[in-house]
Amino acid sequence: MLLRHTPKDIKEREALTINPAKTCQPIGAMYAALGIHNCLPHSHGSQGCCSYHRSMLTRHFKEPVMATTSSFTEGSAVFGGQANLLTSVENIFSLYKPDVIAVHTTCLSETIGDDIVQIIAKAAEEGKIPADKYIIHANTPSYIGSHVTGFANMVKSMVKYFSLTTGVKDNKVNIIPGWVEPSDMREIKRLAVEMGVASIMFPDTSETMDRPQNGQFDMYGTGGTTIDELRATGDSLATLALGHDASVPAGELLNAKCKVKLYELDIPVGLAATDRFIKTLSEAAGVAVPESIERERGRLVDILTDNEQYFYNKRVALYGDPDQLVPLCEFLVDIGMQPVYVVTGTPGKYFDERMAEVLKGVPGAKFRQGAQADMFLLHQWIKNEPVDLLIGNTWGKYISRDENIPLIRFGFPIMDRVGHSYFPNVGYMGAIRLVEKLLNALLDERDRKAPEEKFELTF
Amino acid sequence: MSAQNDIKSAQSVKDEMLSAYPTKTARKRQKQFVVNEPEQEPRQEIQANVRTLPGIITQRGCSYAGCKGVVLGPTRNILNITHGPIGCGFYSWLTRRNQTRPESETDDNFMTYCLSTDMQDENIIFGGEKKLKKAIEEAVDIFHPKAVGVFSTCPIGLIGDDVHAVSREMSEKTGANVFGFSCEGYKGVSQSAGHHIANNQLFKHVVGKGTTCPKGKFKVAMLGEYNIGGDAFALEELFTKCGITLVATFSGNSTYEQFASAHLADLVVVMCHRSINYVADMIEKKYGVPWFKVNFIGAEASAKSLRKIADYFEDAELKKKVERVIAEEMEKVKAELAVIRPRVEGKTAMLFVGGSRAHHYQELFKEMGMKVLAAGYEFAHRDDYEGRVVIPDIKVDADSRNIEELHVEPHPSEFRARKTKEQLDAMAAKGFEFRDYKGMMPEMDAGTLVIDDINHFETELIIEKYKPDIFCAGIKEKYVIQKMGMPLKQLHNYDYGGPYASFEGAINFYRDVERMLNTRVWKHIRAPWHKQEPLAAVFINETN
């Protein structure tokens, strides 16, 4: 057994996290910054942070993840990191020529108390920032929240630094997609186009984190939200913030700063969340839902009615981020499954409130958030009463193998399979893909386990 | 091209690189970029183990990564607890491909677990010692480990948590051997500091505690082998075949007990000089076990290393057995090379990785008839480039000074000189070298580039200038280089292949590199319509 020391007997822990269902803020800030056009994320701290984040994002996307670090030494830890950041700025603009440097902090620079705003001002004063180039920053202390918080903080900074009001409203709708894959961002943009809605998506990692192989390395890729687009978000008709944790804070700031009407929504995973997204988008932009989208929806519902028997009462355990888990669990319930165990390391009451509502019809459902809501606990729950399916990131494969439960890879990071950056999980088409994955997992299992006399050709 | 021409053109690449840098950056980088002239007198110097320039896009990681990730990561029955916010523990959770093979289904194996105190802002403000104590207690209660390692992340040093005092207290309270590591990420200038911190603590708290070790006539401890992709398994098998007993490996496929009994070996051999040579020195001084450098990357190097071990023991039977094994293995190696070499001969490679791999793997490329154009380490020191001869000349700077140097004396009862002074002198007279490492630069051709702590800008530049056929580095560089339309071979995680150590490993490596160089997939990069002759296009248009 790979997780041979996980006992069935559950003892409450107060201080120890084992096999976490979250990571730290800076990696989220780095991922968000990769969704700005010609932007180089910069990690203000020891160089290990940057190396770890780049490595993990690279394993997940199988793409270049370019980012820089302030490379703190003991001296910087004692005297502060101003000199390191100023040198960084000089080197970065000389060598890598980004339009934007997006600085995020780390637990080290936060504990020291480096004032990034002041350091950026000093860089400007010393002429270290070329004309039409920008440095933005987000405070992302690793000891508060999770990777999702870091993502949210960097998205908020995009609004803080760039969003403007010219006084003339544009006919556009802002879409803050939340922590999703480049494929999801692409799909959400396609839905907007299909609806006839002009949109600004930020951040947007399509074409930065799913680049084509053309034999030419390009430092930043062709994608990402441009500075002009970020500025224009202040003039949009409305903002659709997808995901309470990752997107709403930026939506609220945009509303406060530029009076752009905010619609708070779930990430459109599954049928109901996509319905709400489409309905809200149609309302916000004042357009009717086109028949083509209705037909997409119909195809999803068709696959559901065709296969409902296979989902019914199947017990599922999930781990990941609240923004994804809430609509995903809602979808599983909608199709007759039972998400019985759900954990997220990302802390916050929001998860508890939404899960209570989503899982109210699921007998014996357990859900938990925060430091000790980890994969160790989830595994212990499974040991006490097993499940049919596990959904979450790559680390779940250890539980999956030990307990002989199929794993559907979903969330971050997925380091051992591909597809997530190319095929969306959002929208009706994304939901069809999810259904395909669910069915494959369940039916493969049935084929593998059926006695010979019960082995079936057709399902 | 002649060596002189190589040197000249390499020099012009260096000049071009320096001219793009801001002045201060150029001044620092020029000393870490050497156009190799191994025959030159006095010997060329390279600057290494110095601070990375902020903002430059380095390959390097931090002290915590070197300590918790590299050195302690591969040990299965020391329970590792990261003291800090959640990230560091999360990123170092199973990501280094250290394989391990517990002896039974019930033996301890904690490597699949990530334990963290997951510090929150109140712990940063009011201190995290209380939480750490509680976490250790909870961990011991669940896992019942013999030993617990506590790893400090960046904020720990700043807020003043005393992990060592907590560890001492918790050792007494729980009965487990609990020890702490002050491996905050900002210590030193790279992972190398973390290796040192890890090894010092293992030496202080574990080595020497054991009283028994596996029986055998030729007992060896292997230092600096981390079992990436099963390298240690391959070596264990090879040693067993030769009748050599591996008492301990630091730290691939290792256990606490192995570390504790390492001093009972009669010989210490060192694979990765950078990460651990000082432990070999300390074991020799305290317990009387001599050491020398080996290299099991490359078939010829493996044979040479085995022979040296056999020579050390001065046993005719062992020498015979070793020769037999070498003959047997070399036959397979030669058969493979006969197929592979013609398919890769003359191709070129660059290696920028680690603290010994960029040197060791040149052996394999040489065996395949390939040419190394440039190489450098990510976190090595000058002695790894220039050889141990340079050690007395290395200046200890502020960043190295904060890494503890242990003062070691011969152990009052456990010191046992494995070879008498006369024996050692006699061996030396025959050219047998102990405590030896010649470094990378003397073995590289004139006119090749040696670059320490290479950054992205330099990587792009040298690839553009030299257009190597394959580039060797790590995960962060993998898809950067491949987007340029050429293969990158990962030498940290082997692209999930391996083992590459020993004869069997050499064959695996030849095959992998041959595949990467000759795979058809690179041929599909240009779409067919771009390959079309313009004339043909015109012709079609006209007929339409």
- Here the tokens at position A219 are 């430092």
Query: Rounded CA gap, B450 and B351, in Å?
Result: 10
Do residues A266 and A327 share a domain? Answer: no
Q: What is the pLDDT of residue B3?
A: 85
Contacts of B90 in chain A (CB under 8 A): 20, 22-24
**B492 catalytic per annotation:** no
Of A291, A320, A351, the domain-final residue: A291
* CA B275 to each of CA A458, B121, B223, B224, B442: distance values in angstroms, whole numbers, following the listed order: 58, 34, 9, 6, 20
For residue A9, the chain B residue with the least C-alpha distance is B142
Do residues A298 and A417 share a domain? Answer: yes
Q: Is residue A110 assigned to a domain?
A: yes
Interchain pair A72, B51: CB under 8 A = no
Q: Do B219-343+387-429 and B63-186 have the same topology in CATH?
A: yes
Average pLDDT, chain A: 98
Q: Tell me the pLDDT tens digit for each residue of A86-118.
A: 999 999 999 999 999 999 999 999 999 999 999
Query: Which candidate in B62, B242, B248, B299 is catalytic?
Result: B62
* CATH architecture for residues B63-186: 3-Layer(aba) Sandwich (3.40)
Q: Tell me the pLDDT tens digit for each residue of A328-365.
A: 999 999 999 999 999 999 999 999 999 999 999 999 99
- Domain coordinates in residue numbering, chain B: 63-186, 219-343+387-429
> Which of B57, B81, B153 to substitute to test the interface with A, most A CBs within 10 Å?
B57
Do residues A302 and A436 share a domain? Answer: yes
**B195 catalytic per annotation:** yes
B538/A contact by beta carbon, under 8 A: no
CA distance B159 to chain A (A): 8
**ipTM of the prediction:** 0.97
Q: Tell me the pLDDT tens digit for each residue of A303-313.
A: 999 999 999 99
Interchain pair A64, B143: CB under 8 A = no
Do residues A110 and A179 share a domain? Answer: no
| Contacts of B186 by beta carbon, 8 Å cutoff, 6+ apart | A46, A72, A73, A74, A76, A77, A108, B62, B63, B154, B157
Cβ(B119)–Cβ(B152) below 8 Å = no
Q: Which of A48, A67, A398 sits opposite B185 (nearest CB)?
A: A48
Q: Count structural domains, chain A.
A: 3
Half-sphere exposure of A301 (CA within 13 A, CB side): 9
Domain B219-343+387-429 sits in CATH 3.40.50.1980: yes
Of A161, A195, A213, the domain-final residue: A161
Phi, psi of B148 (to 5 degrees): -130, 130
A398/B contact by beta carbon, under 8 A: yes
| Alpha-helical runs (H) found in B402-500 | 421-429, 456-466, 475-482
Contacts of B139 in chain A (CB under 8 A): 16
Do residues A102 and A180 share a domain? Answer: no
Of A291, A320, A350, the domain-final residue: A291
Q: What is the pLDDT along chain B (544 residues), one digit of tens a residue?
A: 578 889 999 999 999 999 999 999 999 999 999 999 999 999 999 999 999 999 999 999 999 999 999 999 999 999 999 999 999 999 999 999 999 999 999 999 999 999 999 999 999 999 999 999 999 999 999 999 999 999 999 999 999 999 999 999 999 999 999 999 999 999 999 999 999 999 999 999 999 999 999 999 999 999 999 999 999 999 999 999 999 999 999 999 999 999 999 999 999 999 999 999 999 999 999 999 999 999 999 999 999 999 999 999 999 999 999 999 999 999 999 999 999 999 999 999 999 999 999 999 999 999 999 999 999 999 999 999 999 999 999 999 999 988 999 999 999 999 999 999 999 999 999 999 999 999 999 999 999 999 999 999 999 999 999 999 999 999 999 999 999 999 999 999 999 999 999 999 999 999 999 999 999 999 999 999 987 655 544 454 444 4
Do residues A41 and A140 share a domain? Answer: yes
Do residues A379 and A253 share a domain? Answer: no
The owner of tokens 């840098």 is B21
Structural element, H or E, at residue B129: helix B129-143
Residue type, B55: G
Do residues A222 and A332 share a domain? Answer: no
Is pLDDT of A171 > 60? yes
CATH number at residue A398: 3.40.50.1980
Which residues 92-131 on chain A approach chain B with CB closer than 8 angstroms?
92, 94-96, 106-108, 111-112
Q: Which of A13, A77, A214 sits opposite B525 (nearest CB)?
A: A214
| Contacts of A453 by beta carbon, 8 Å cutoff, 6+ apart | none
Query: Rounded CA gap, B182 and B163, in Å?
Result: 8
Interchain pair B117, A16: CB under 8 A = yes
Query: Which candidate in B96, B164, B456, B511 is catalytic?
Result: B96
Do residues A366 and A314 share a domain? Answer: yes
Q: Which of A1, A42, A64 sits opposite B479 (nearest CB)?
A: A64
CA distance B485 to chain A (A): 4
Q: What is the pLDDT of residue A43?
A: 98
Is the pTM higher than 0.95? The answer reads yes
Do residues A303 and A433 share a domain? Answer: yes
Q: Which of B22, B90, B186 sits opposite A73 (nearest CB)?
A: B186
CA distance A294 to chain B (A): 36
Q: What is the pLDDT of residue A168?
A: 95
Q: Is residue A133 assigned to a domain?
A: yes
Query: Rounded CA gap, A389 and A405, in Å?
Result: 6
Q: Tell me the pLDDT tens digit for each residue of A230-280.
A: 999 999 999 999 999 999 999 999 999 999 999 999 999 999 999 999 999
Q: Is residue A206 assigned to a domain?
A: yes
> Which of B479, B526, B530 to substitute to test the interface with A, most A CBs within 10 Å?
B479
Q: Is residue A8 assigned to a domain?
A: no
Do residues A106 and A229 share a domain? Answer: no
Do residues A358 and A423 share a domain? Answer: yes
Q: What is the pLDDT of residue B531?
A: 72
Residues spanned by the domain of A366: 293-453
Q: What is the pLDDT of residue A5?
A: 98
A88/B contact by beta carbon, under 8 A: yes
